[in-house]
Amino acid sequence: MAISVREIAKLAGVSSATVSRVINGSSLVTEETTLRIQRVIQDLNFVPNRSAIHLKNGKSQIYGIVIPDLTNPFFTETVKIFEELLFENEMELLVANTDFHSTRTQRSVHRMLLRRVDGVAILTSEFEAAPLESLVQNRIPVVTTDHYRTGPGISDIVVDFAGGMAQLVAHLKSLGHRKLGFVGGADGPITSRVRRESFLHAVVKQGLSSREGWMVPGDFKIEGGAAATARILSQPEIPTAVMTANDLTAIGALRAAHEKGLRVPADISIAGFDDIAMSDIVHPPFHEKPSLCQASWSTLTASK
């Protein structure tokens, strides 16, 4: 139905092969023929069909990214960077949002397979092994984050939570804090456990104190952060500083503190983990506090 090279060919009085050569800038075609064909292409606003190209040469020129929460600026910023990078190279990015459901991750990966993406980044940390396997079996390169598992064709990027937490806790200690709380991620994802343990380990190592009631899971979102923090703050005794699993959680914590009538950082300190741009706009602004929010990244392995 749409225009094809053959139509262009007919109108320009040549064969489709020549049209294709012109499109791809082959030097074999006469200047005159080239111009004539380009004219027709212009006139008809012709654009070649990439599905056909894909079929012919095996590269879809599409990459996929699977994320848990499209409203979390951390992921949005990541998507933006990916999109920009691919845009430069005339490629596409397929974005899949899972809302933290592992079944949606599975279905998202399936969609990526259907489109024969040239590679996928999976930034959701909770999902079964099955989707990974099918990707590998179809020879699609995969990058995951905080999945703590690699293999042929699978790279894993892990955030150095242990190091980040150690820095953060040391800094708080130097500021005089002794009693620390922690609002974690959702139960389930491996990374939640890692973040929690990194915190606990750092606290113990620095000789500071925390306790069960001060370590509450959240959901990586503002609401969960606020609710969890409220639970901590409703205890008879409360910590002087609260660390969180990510920045959205910290924002929720800020709100909970406010609602309790506590001033930050006068009455209680709150520290996040991500350094998203949104950190600039909350009140009191994060940037008035020491910049503790950055985590260091390290690549575990990258295989062919």
Partner DNA sequence: AAGCCGAATGTAGCCGATTGCAATCGGCCA
Partner DNA sequence: TGGCCGATTGCAATCGGCTACATTCGGCTT
Amino acid symbol at 92: E
Q: What DSSP character marks residue 101?
A: -
Residues 43-82 that bind a copy of itself (CB under 8 A): 44-45, 47-52, 54-55, 58, 60, 70-71, 73, 76-77, 79-80
Segment interacting with DNA (CB under 7 A) among 50-58, 126-134, 204-212, 287-295? 50-58
Is residue 113 within the footprint of a copy of itself (CB under 8 A)? yes
Residue closer to a copy of itself by CB (options 217, 225) is 225
Binding-site partner at residue 96 among DNA, a copy of itself, none, CB < 5 to 8 Å by type: a copy of itself
- Residue 80: name its binding partner from DNA, a copy of itself, none (Cβ under 5 to 8 Å by kind): a copy of itself
15: contact with DNA by CB under 7 A: yes
Asked whether position 283 contacts a copy of itself by CB under 8 A, the answer is yes
CB 148, CB 128: distance < 8 Å: no
- Which residues within the stretch 55-94 sit at the binding site for DNA (CB under 7 A)? 55-58
Cis preceding linkage at 284, omega within 30: yes
| Interface of this chain with DNA, residues 135 to 174, rule: CB under 7 A | none
- Interacting span for DNA (CB under 7 A) from 52-60, 74-82, 136-144, 192-200: 52-60
CA pair distance 134, 63, nearest whole angstrom: 16
Judge whether 75 and 124 are in contact, CB under 8 Å: no
Element (H, E) at 271: strand 269-271
Decide: is 1 part of the binding site for DNA (CB under 7 A). Answer: yes
Q: Give dist(CA 138, CA 283) in Å, integer.
A: 48
Torsion, Cα 6 7 9 10, to 10 degrees, reads: 120
Q: What is the distance between the alpha carbons of residues 84 and 81, in angstroms, rounded to a whole number?
A: 5
In angstroms, rounded to a whole number, what is the distance separating the alpha carbons of residues 158 and 105?
Answer: 19
Residues 6+ apart with CB under 8 A from 176: none
Q: How far apart are CA 256 and CA 32, in angstroms?
A: 72
Dihedral, 295, 297, 300, 302 alpha carbons, nearest 10: 150
Please say which residue, 12 or 166, places its beta carbon nearer to DNA.
12
When binding is defined by CB under 7 A, the residue of 29, 113, 170, 282 that contacts DNA is 29
Which residues make up the interface to DNA (CB under 7 A)? 1-6, 9, 13-21, 23-24, 27-30, 32-33, 46, 48-49, 52-53, 55-58
Which residues make up the interface to a copy of itself (CB under 8 A)? 1-3, 44-45, 47-52, 54-55, 58, 60, 70-71, 73, 76-77, 79-80, 83-84, 87, 90, 92-97, 104, 107-108, 110-111, 113-116, 133-134, 137-139, 222, 251, 255, 258, 277-278, 280-284
